[in-house]
Every structure is written in C-alpha cells, then in structure tokens.
Amino acid sequence: MRGIAGGKDGPPNKTVLKEGSKDEVVIETAGYGIPLVEGDVLMVEFGGGGGWGDPMNRDPNMVLQDVLDEYVSIESAMMDYGVVIDKVSNSIDLKATDELRKKLRLGKSY
C-alpha cells in the first residue's frame, strides 16, 4: 500500500517456494504454477499498509513506546524514524537523534 502525506510505502506481499533450498524461488505473481511436493517449505509474508505522515516528524517518545510495545525494532526506530534508542537503558539519546534526523533529512546515510 502507498503511504500518504509523506508516509513511507508499506512492504509488498512476498511468497517464497522451497525456502532455504538451492531451488528457492521468490514468487512475484499469483498463480505461479509450481506444484508442491512433500518436504517443500512455502513462506508467505503479507505486506503492511503504508504510513501516514513523515516518519521524521514522529515524536521520539512515541517511537520509544512503539519499541517498548514491540511494534518497531530498535533498528527500525533508527533507520525509519531517525530515533536513537539506548539498548541498555531503553531511553532516547536526544542529541544523537537530533543529529541523525538532520543527516537523514539531507539524504545522508547514518
């Protein structure tokens, strides 16, 4: 799904047939037509909805709460929201967050 008002797009659906084998196939269309046999592993990931609003504008405290509620990983908080969270204290590093968000807004990697 597409994001709106500056939000990021949600991930697409993904299907992998014979996951983890040398014959692994990522299926990008419906009705692929490969029969399954006993022992095959089929993995299906359903995409999520798109975001609403620029993730760099989300209140860092709300991002921290999302991390604590296990909706967002610490890595995603940093990459997607520009929020740096200390893994030991589960607290926001405000100075590092401010610096990272400035870099990300300029299109620089962290």
Summarize pLDDT for 61-110 with one digit per residue, the tens: 999 999 999 999 999 999 999 999 999 999 999 999 999 999 998 886 65
Looking at the fold, whether 38 and 62 belong to one and the same domain comes out as no
Q: Is 59 a domain residue?
A: yes
Looking at the fold, whether 42 and 63 belong to one and the same domain comes out as no
Looking at the fold, whether 45 and 77 belong to one and the same domain comes out as no
- Residue 109's pLDDT is 60
- Residue 11's pLDDT is 74
Domain of 20, in residue numbers: 1-53
Q: Which of 5, 24, 2 is nearest to 15 (CA)?
A: 24
Number of domains present in the structure of the chain: 2
- Residue 108's pLDDT is 64
Matching residue, tokens 């204290």: 89
Band the pLDDT of 39: cuts 50, 70, 90. confident
pTM of the model: 0.65
Looking at the fold, whether 64 and 48 belong to one and the same domain comes out as no
Matching residue, tokens 């709460």: 65
Which residue type is seen at 21?
S
Q: Is 110 a domain residue?
A: no
Looking at the fold, whether 48 and 83 belong to one and the same domain comes out as no
Q: Let me know: does 43 contact 50? Beta carbons within 8 Å.
A: no
